[in-house]
């Protein structure tokens, strides 16, 4: 690794740690330079502004997330089994330390810069990458009947977020595998009660 690449990595590592513990606004470039063991000039040579550094941190953290495979609808497998697998992958992502770390850094910034919320929302992660296509294919196969697929996709994901992500992010409750399995089972059952074709 070139020295310049190594310095950049040191800066990103330091920024991730400081942004997570203190927040972006409460972290100065002087603190970053000290923590990364580089000069302030080196920090600015790599990142002209703190916002540029923040964007680089988010992108790097998102790229490191384990988001699971993109599942395609299979008419030969029961729809409940397929949705359960999608939900399990999503819960694994939403409750992972890496995802919660990204969320904590991002949410503190979004509170101060609302325009970032739109940008974050447009960054498709987890099952958001493929769920609408999956549901459309299931409808075409006559398994599901959904009039508004984008809305139904959000219903599915938001149930999981409400019960898994937010309680974990804010430390509202200690979650276990058994709790996650119950959430998944109930989310799939409710979704199918509404959309499975009879």
For 174-183, the pLDDT digits (tens) are: 889 999 999 9
Residue 168 is part of which domain span?
A: 67-195
Q: What secondary structure letter does DSSP report for 164?
A: I
Residue 76 and residue 146 share a domain: yes
Of residues 88 and 23, more confidence is placed in: 88
**CATH number of 124's domain:** 1.10.357.10
Residue 94 and residue 29 share a domain: no
Based on the structure, what is the number of domains in the chain?
A: 2
**CATH number of 41's domain:** 1.10.10.60
Residue 141 has a pLDDT of: 97
Residue 55 has a pLDDT of: 82
Residue 86 and residue 33 share a domain: no
Residue 114 and residue 147 share a domain: yes
Q: Dihedral angle at the C-alpha atoms of 46, 4, 41, 62, nearest 10 degrees?
A: 30
Distance in angstroms (rounded) separating the CA atoms of residues 115 and 111: 10
Helix, strand, coil: what percent of the chain each, to 5?
75, 0, 25
Residue 103 and residue 169 share a domain: yes
Four-residue CA torsion sign, 181, 186, 189, 190: negative
Residues 6+ apart with CB under 8 A from 177: none
Residue 147 and residue 50 share a domain: no
Residue 91 and residue 24 share a domain: no
Does the pLDDT of residue 41 top 80, yes or no? Answer: yes
Does the pLDDT of residue 1 top 80, yes or no? Answer: no
User: What mean pLDDT do residues 43-50 have?
Assistant: 87
Strand, helix or coil for residue 83: helix
Q: How far apart are the first and last CA of the chain?
A: 59
Pick from 15, 30, 62: which residue ends a domain? 62
| pLDDT-above-70 percentage for the chain | 91
| pLDDT-above-90 percentage for the chain | 41
Of residues 76 and 15, more confidence is placed in: 76
Mean pLDDT score of the chain: 87
Residue 81 and residue 53 share a domain: no
Residue 93 and residue 27 share a domain: no
Residue 173 and residue 92 share a domain: yes
Residue 82 and residue 40 share a domain: no
Residue 74 and residue 57 share a domain: no
Distance in angstroms (rounded) separating the CA atoms of residues 99 and 95: 7
Distance in angstroms (rounded) separating the CA atoms of residues 83 and 80: 5
Residue 178 has a pLDDT of: 95
Residue 9 has a pLDDT of: 87
Residue 18 has a pLDDT of: 85
């Amino acid at each position: 690794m070139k020295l310049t690449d190594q310095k950049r990595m040191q800066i990103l590592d330091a920024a991730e740690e400081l942004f997570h513990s203190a927040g972006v606004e409460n972290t100065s470039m002087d603190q970053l330079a000290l923590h990364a063991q580089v000069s302030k000039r080196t920090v600015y040579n790599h990142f002209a502004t703190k916002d540029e550094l923040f964007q680089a941190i988010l992108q790097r953290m998102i790229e490191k997330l384990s988001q699971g495979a993109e599942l395609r609808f299979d008419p030969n497998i029961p729809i409940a089994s397929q949705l359960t697998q999608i939900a399990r992958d999503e819960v694994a992502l939403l409750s992972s330390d890496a995802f919660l770390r990204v969320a904590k850094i991002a949410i503190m910034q979004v509170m101060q810069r609302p325009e970032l919320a739109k940008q974050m929302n447009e960054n498709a992660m987890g099952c958001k990458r493929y769920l609408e296509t999956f549901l459309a294919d299931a409808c075409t196969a006559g398994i599901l009947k959904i009039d508004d697929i984008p809305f139904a996709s959000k219903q599915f994901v938001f149930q999981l977020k409400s019960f898994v992500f937010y309680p974990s992010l804010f430390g509202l409750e200690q979650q276990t595998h058994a709790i996650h399995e119950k959430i998944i089972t109930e989310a799939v059952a409710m979704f199918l009660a509404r959309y499975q074709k009879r």
